[in-house]
Structures are given as structure tokens and as C-alpha cells.
Chains A and B, each alone.
Chain A
Amino acid sequence: MAADTTVYKEIDGKGGDYFSLVGWLGLMIAAGLASVYYMEHHGHIVTGMTNAVVWGTPHVFAVFLIVAASGALNIASISSVFGKYHYKPLARLSAVTAIALLAGGLMVLVLDLGRPDRLIVAMTKYNFKSIFAWNIYLYTGFFVIVLAYLWMMMERRMVPHSKKAGLLAFVWRLALTTGTGSIFGFLVARPGYDAAIMAPMFIAMSFSFGLAFFIILVSVTYRASGRPLGDLILFKMRNLLGIFIAAALYFTVAQHLTNLYAAEHAGIEAFILMDGGIYTFLFWVVQIGLGSLFPLALLFNPATGRRCQGIIVASLLVIIGGLAQIYVIIIGGQAFPMPIFPGMEVSSSFFDGVVHSYAPSLPEVVLGLSGVATTLLIIAVAIKYLPLLPTSLSDAKVDPHHAPKD
């Protein structure tokens, strides 16, 4: 591996643009906290969530951000663990992005609790059979390990050890996403979940969503700070994103094919794939079409895939498709009636046997968006005060031996 001659430097962050960005993000976070106060004061009656759809829009955002967090760490893992030195200059930003995404996601998750004032209970009382309880350790451990990893990358004396920390972080992020997927995989009673494939599917999703977020972040930051960003690193990330989109798609296909084969799951499959209304639309049009196939076409079509804008648009679509996918998994999985008496027609005052309706309410959406704002604010502050970003990502800097043209 070539010695790291990259020069890292804080962004200036003195212009009006930077401060207006920080101001807007702060405002969104404030709006999110106001939503939380509103939801806690009145109770969850003011949300779209019900006794049937118990997890709503906040959980969609939270799970997306948490899943993307582990994916965003990939750039660092690829450089430290798999020795791909091209990615090395972005490893620091990758670690910070991972921390920021996780913090944003957890904030949303925690603030949606029925009793967020009892957060201390969640920290002191554990049921170790619960995947949720394991996740509390996986999440806090992720913060600690990635922070240590970041420090080792940035502290010259520790650089030789950073590879080991990178390996630990990589293993931990796989465990973390396994844990997040298993939140759903372990739900034995609901036909929309209850599948071991949830864990690897969430890992593939995390690769894809995290990298898409990271590509946009790097492109926008480099343009805004006026630093050179060469095609080499961008195209490498483009190719990687293509592979990750395909991987996530593969698991989705495997999940539904397996379900389609079992007559027992015909109901949930018909619901998601054919007559689920919004969920069917979100699945085929947004997740598969706009969020997977179209970005793949954009990335690998020379006309768009060789342009920064094309890659950014593809990444944005991956994020939108990712949110749709998580929406279909979380909300769609609950909207489908619980099979209390399989094969029977069921009705009751508690809406047994009918598709449950759910409409996101404004406070929920604002809370979810404030999690995204928290992520962005953490990154904005971190790159201003820490030397995270290389002064140049031009092709010559990224790879001194590189021949012109991709």
C-alpha cells in the first residue's frame, strides 16, 4: 500500500452558504423536536399510527438511516480491510458519515417511543433474549468502535493499527445490520417478516443506501468547497454502487420467489406484488423501477454514467427507492392482516381480517426529516472542525500511476 500522502484539511465554512445551511438544518431539527413535544403531549393519537400499524414513518426514516450508517462505513472498510488504496482518502469522511447517520436514525427511533423519558430504563434494564436489547449494544458499540477507528486513522502514531480497528469496525457493522434486519426476521407471527433472509437483505440494502448517500455527500461537498474531485474515484464508487444495487435487488427477488413458492405465503405476496394499492405501487414503481433498474441504467449508460450529474441523480433515486423499500417492508408488512385463523374469513371490531390503513401525519414526517437534518448537521460541523476531507481528489492524487481516461 502506498504511503498516505493525502493532505486533509478542514473546510473553510465561513461563507454565508455554510451558515445558512447550518441554520436551515438547525431549524429542521427544532421543528422535529417540536413535533416530538406535540406527539408526547397529546400521545400517539396525533400520529397516523394505530393499534394495527404500530410502527410508522419515524421507523421508516430511523431504519433507513441506521441501515445506511453501516453502509456508509464501507468506503473506509474497503480501504483498510480490503486494501483498495484509492478509497483511502475518503476513509475519514466515511467513518464520520457512518456515525452521523446512526446518530440521526437513533434520535428518531428514541423520540418516537411512547415514553422517551424512560430512555434510562432502556439503558439499565435488559432482556437479553430480545434482539432490540442486543441492538442497543450493537449501536453503542458501533459509535465507540468507529470513533476509535477514526481516531486511529487521524492520529499519526496510531495509523499502523488502524487496519485492525477497520477490520473490527467492518465485522461490527455486519453484525449491526444483521441485528437490524433480524428485528423483522424474528417476528414469527407476521407473514411479511419471519424470514432469515431479512438479515442478509438488510446488509445488501445498507451497502447500496449508504454508498448512494456517500456519493451525493462527496460530490456536493467538493463542489461547494471548490475542491477538485476527479472522475477516477467517482467512477469507482459508481461501479461499486451498481454492484450493490444489483445485490439488494437479488435479495429482494430471492425473498419474493421463496414466498411465492409456498402456498402459505400467497396472501402476502399477492398483497405486495399485485393488489396492495400504495404498497404495490411503491414496490414496483419506486423500489424496483425508479430505485433499482433506472439507476442501474443511468450508471452503466455511458451518456449518463460518465457525468457527475448522472451519478448523483442515480444515487438520489437509490435513496428514494430505499425509503420506499423500507416503507413497504415496515408499513406494508403491518398493513397486511395478521393470519389469526389461516384460511378463514375473519372480522371483528379490532379490524381483524382487513387491510389496515395508515396515513403518515405531519409530525411523524417532520420527526423523520429532522433525523436526516441531524445527520447532515453532524457532518457539516465535523468537516468544518476536523481535517476529514482531502484537499484534492483529483485523479492524480487518488492514483499517481493512473493513466488518463477511465
Chain B
Amino acid sequence: MTDKSMTKVDTSRRNILKGGAAAAVITLAPGVTLRTVEAAVTGPATNAKRWGMLIDANAPSDVWDIAVEACKAEQGWGKDEAHANPTTDPQWIRKVNVKDPKTGAKASLPVMCQHCANPPCVDVCPTGASMKRADGIVLVDKHICIGCRYCMMACPYSCRSFVHEDVHGQRPHMPRGKGTVEACTLCVHRVDKGQQPACVEAISNMGSDAMIFGDLNDPTSEIARAVSKYVTQRIRSDLGVEPGIHYRGI
């Protein structure tokens, strides 16, 4: 099967190159003449990029509710579950309230899949359904998830949910089904189109920069500049799993 597709991809590549390098250079800017060519293809994701987020826990805590709602609306979870049972309903992103018992200092912050560089969920998955893309986005390949829940045992952040009952009305970009495990995808379907994750976009639409998303590997990106300027924390950094989600103010 791989062979077949390689042939196909090669053909399309050849089509592009038929016009020669000159044509390619010309069309780079407007990108119109290429519309008829089959190669309207992006990717594959490479490790040249490392997607990450910087979350400012000093932001007013209601912005996190907006982030959660934006995620629900984008991905379609938390709306149609029949039983509405808080112990079994999925939560891809949640607002966590933290309080230092000694000093009484408080903070709120959103916690979602931390998109670890060394994800324990990927290590333990028997079938390889839990996987990390080359650009650091950790996903569940629900096509081969058998629903053993070992990844949920392994995740240090309790960030995965098991679909406990039938779901309906899934979004076209986000298939979800009973008996498989799911979690934040970092809005991979948006990121691949050059957009921001839904939670980040919703918050920045309010004029807040409490969540910054971008490529940590690109020194010119806003996030890379921010994490090199401020000391940031990552949750349970003692575990050495190297999350892609950075926090300030906890």
C-alpha cells in the first residue's frame, strides 16, 4: 500500500516540476496557476517545528472558562453526552484552581494535554494508537485504539478521557466514538491550516495575550521570544516528560 501511494505522490510531484523550476518560482507568490495541479497538499509534519503554548496564570481566571467553551464548541465534546455525568463525561481542557496551603496564594490555569516530548501515554500504548507527530503534537489514532485505558493510567496530567457512551453530532474534523480514548489535539486540524488553536484564538479575540501559541523552534516566533524572556514552568517538570505547554505565574 505504501508503494502505491509513493507512486501517486511521485507522479504529482513530477506534475509540479513539469513546468520547471522557473514556473515554480513565478507561482510561489500568487499561487493561482497551481489550483489545477493535484498537489494542494500540505505536510508532512516535520520535527523542524515544535508546537507549544505559553499560558499566563496571572490572567483573570474567567478567561479560562472562555478557553474551555471555545474548545467544546470547536471539537464538539461536552455538549451531547446523554447522561451528563461529571465523572464519565470527557474534558479535553479544564480550569484548575491551585492554592498554596501555606501562604494562601491562589492561581487558576487551564490544563489540557501537555503535548510532551517524551509522552508516557505513547510509551505505554500497546498498539501505537497513542502517538506523537513529528512536530510534537500528541494524538490518539482512534482507528487503532482498543480502549485499554493504559494511557489514562500513565498520563501525569489526567488529561485524557474515555468515551463512556455513544456520541452523536461529531464535527467533520473531529471524529469521536464510544470505547476509545480522546484528548486535546492542539487543534491539529486548525494548526495544519496555519490557524491558532480554538482556545488561543478565543482568548486573543478578547484582546488578551494570556495564551500564546506557536513554534518553539522558531526563534523569531512570539512564543519563542516570550519563553526566552521570562522564566516559565512546566507542570511536573520533575518527570522529565518535557511538555510543550509552558506556564507563567504558578
Contacts and interface: CB of A to CB of B under 8 A. Distances in A.
A344 B145 CA distance: 34
A336 to B, nearest CB: 12
A43 B126 contact: no
A54 B153 contact: yes
Residue of A114, A122, A131, A340 with most partner-chain B CB within 10 A: A114
A188 interface: yes
Contact of A189 (B111, B120, B165, B250): B120
Nearest to A42: B165
A190 interface: yes
A40 B163 CA distance: 12
Contacts of A55: 149, 153
B96 to A, nearest CB: 4
A51 B161 CA distance: 6
Interface in B109-155: 111, 120, 122-128, 130, 144-150, 152-155
A114 B129 CA distance: 13
Residue of A338, A343, A349, A357 with most partner-chain B CB within 10 A: A349
Given A54-B152, A340-B235, A348-B96, A43 B163 contact: yes
A44 B101 CA distance: 36
B120 A119 contact: no
Interface string A114-126: 1110110110011
B97 interface: yes
Contact of B147 (A52, A113, A130, A341): A113
Interface string A44-70: 110000111011000000000000000
Residue of B123, B125, B163, B179 with most partner-chain A CB within 10 A: B179
A351 B87 CA distance: 8
Chain B interface, >50% SS class: loop
B96 A340 contact: yes
B147 to A, nearest CB: 2
B164 A125 contact: no
A349 B86 contact: yes
Contact of A118 (B83, B94, B144, B162): B144
Given A50-B87, A338-B158, A132 B152 contact: no
B156 to A, nearest CB: 3
A135 to B, nearest CB: 8
A118 B164 CA distance: 17
Contacts, number: 174
Contacts of A122: 126-127, 146
B67 to A, nearest CB: 13
Contact of A341 (B90, B180, B250): B250
Chain A interface, >50% SS class: loop
Given A50-B88, A115-B146, A348-B96, A187 B154 contact: yes
A343 B99 CA distance: 9
A352 interface: yes
Contact of A188 (B86, B87, B239): B239
Nearest to B157: A340
Contacts of B156: 188-189, 338, 340
B158 A350 contact: yes
A350 B178 contact: no
B3 interface: no
Nearest to A333: B153
B168 interface: no
A130 B127 CA distance: 8
A131 B239 CA distance: 19
A347 B97 contact: yes
30 contacts: A42-B165, A44-B88, A44-B164, A50-B164, A51-B87, A51-B160, A51-B164, A114-B146, A114-B148, A114-B162, A114-B178, A115-B146, A115-B147, A118-B144, A122-B127, A132-B125, A183-B150, A188-B239, A189-B157, A339-B236, A340-B157, A342-B236, A344-B99, A348-B94, A348-B95, A348-B111, A349-B95, A350-B96, A352-B158, A356-B87
Given A334-B153, A341-B235, A348-B96, 12 more contacts: A40-B179, A43-B178, A50-B88, A113-B147, A114-B163, A130-B126, A136-B126, A187-B124, A338-B157, A349-B91, A351-B86, A351-B87
Q: Nearest 7 A-B pairs (CB), nearest first? A: A114-B147, A114-B179, A189-B156, A132-B126, A50-B87, A43-B165, A54-B149
